[in-house]
Amino acid sequence: MTSELGKLEDLPVSYRNELTERNLVPLWPGLRNVLPYERPAHNTRPTLWRYEEIRPRLLQAGELTPIEKAERRVLVLANPGLELETMRATPTIYVGMQLILPGETAPNHRHTPSAIRFVVEGSGAFTLVNGEKCPMQKGDLILTPSGLWHEHGHEGSGPVVWLDALDLPFVYAVEASYAIEGPKHETQNELDASQTRYRRGGLIPYSSLNRQRAHYPLLRYPWGEVKDALLALAIDTAVGEPVQLAYVNPESGAECLPTLGFSALMLRPGEQLHPQRRSASAVMHVVEGHGRVEIDGESFDWGGADTFAIPTHAEIKLVNASSVDPAFLFIVDDAPLQRKLGFYELLSE
């Protein structure tokens, strides 16, 4: 910069009033607010939501509000830096904890935002996606992409809780967010594709080679297989390098969803990890273990099923507090959206 930019107060009041009356705004007084130099400004705060504090209040919601009055019984993890009522964990990522009780059905609908479900606790629940019945076990990732019909049910006993993550803030910001209700699903009388068609990496049904690639051929990613793959990868990963796997479309190798990315990270016993700084924002959810995270110098202790938000361009340090057991985290980020918009960056320290 060769000179200091002019301030709004430098302009005559009459001129400013004339602009306002005509829905005009001078750029230069506020230019650095929207286009800062060197590094973006952000209101997103490093924030940790403790599951031990969420769970009793979520169960209380089950007592206070029947599913018929809620449609989706969710407590939203709202970032205090982004105004709680906007329901954003980061500027582009919505995250909530959803509860379903035995015998309940969360009715069939579809919507423009893309969503995923990551199971936190319980068993016996399922998600139907375009008629494909996906069982819900702890740690399973289930996709409910934009425009696909989906409903949830519970045939077991005890509460089932899962983490919802959506690109809702982005879709809402471009004024494209809406939902449509539908009739109850007709269930296919077959196992979901995760149990039949895509059981091993690098192998797909031969018939897939002779047809147009499906947008979402795999809707459920079972945690048991992900965990086994992480443990195997750790053997061949150098100390200091992240043991991390990306969830991808098994036919194309691309991200599961067009706007959000998903990965699983393992911290070896006693490991301290400094992930490379990135332009993407993220939410991390603890699947197993306990430890500490430092985000832009702010420190949080985390345990099982806790969730924390990471702003864009943040410096991160992750520590596994156990010297005996590995820790596992599930990560949601907006890197696919940033890649498509052309400004995703891996940043030097």
Q: Judge if 131 and 236 occupy the same domain.
A: yes
Q: Note the pLDDT of residue 187.
A: 87
Token digits for 181? 């209700």
Q: Judge if 206 and 249 occupy the same domain.
A: yes
Could you give the residue ranges of the DSSP H alpha helices within the chain? 13-21, 31-34, 51-64, 67-70, 168-173, 193-196, 223-235, 335-341
Token digits for 310? 């990471």
Single-letter amino acid code for the residue at 89: A
Distance CA 258, CA 215 (A): 10
Q: Judge if 54 and 31 occupy the same domain.
A: no
Distance CA 106, CA 108 (A): 7
Distance CA 257, CA 255 (A): 6
Q: Judge if 61 and 133 occupy the same domain.
A: yes
Tally of domains within the chain:
2
Supply the CATH number for residue 64's domain. Answer: 2.60.120.10
pTM of the model: 0.95
Q: Judge if 139 and 214 occupy the same domain.
A: yes
Q: Judge if 275 and 295 occupy the same domain.
A: yes
Q: Judge if 160 and 180 occupy the same domain.
A: yes
134 DSSP β-pair partners:
127
Distance CA 11, CA 221 (A): 59
Look up the domain containing 15 and give its range. Answer: 1-38
Helix (H, G, I), strand (E, B) or coil at 340: helix
Q: What is the full per-residue pLDDT of the chain (349 aa) written as tens digits?
A: 556 899 999 999 999 999 999 999 999 999 999 999 988 999 999 999 999 999 999 999 999 999 999 999 999 999 999 999 999 999 999 999 999 999 999 999 999 999 999 999 999 999 999 999 999 999 999 999 999 999 999 999 999 999 999 999 999 999 999 999 999 888 888 899 999 999 888 888 888 887 776 689 999 999 999 999 999 999 999 999 999 999 999 999 999 999 999 999 999 999 999 999 999 999 999 999 999 999 999 999 999 999 999 999 999 999 999 999 999 999 999 999 999 999 999 997 6
Q: Judge if 22 and 148 occupy the same domain.
A: no
* Sheet with 282-288, side-by-side order of all strands: 47-49, 307-310, 282-288, 327-333, 261-267, 243-246
Q: Judge if 9 and 68 occupy the same domain.
A: no
Q: Judge if 121 and 186 occupy the same domain.
A: yes
Using a 10 angstrom Cβ sphere, with 0-12 exposed, 13-18 middle and 19 or more buried, the burial of residue 51 is buried
Q: Judge if 194 and 285 occupy the same domain.
A: yes
Q: Judge if 125 and 217 occupy the same domain.
A: yes
In tens, the pLDDT along 91-136 reads 999 999 999 999 999 999 999 999 999 999 999 999 999 999 999 9
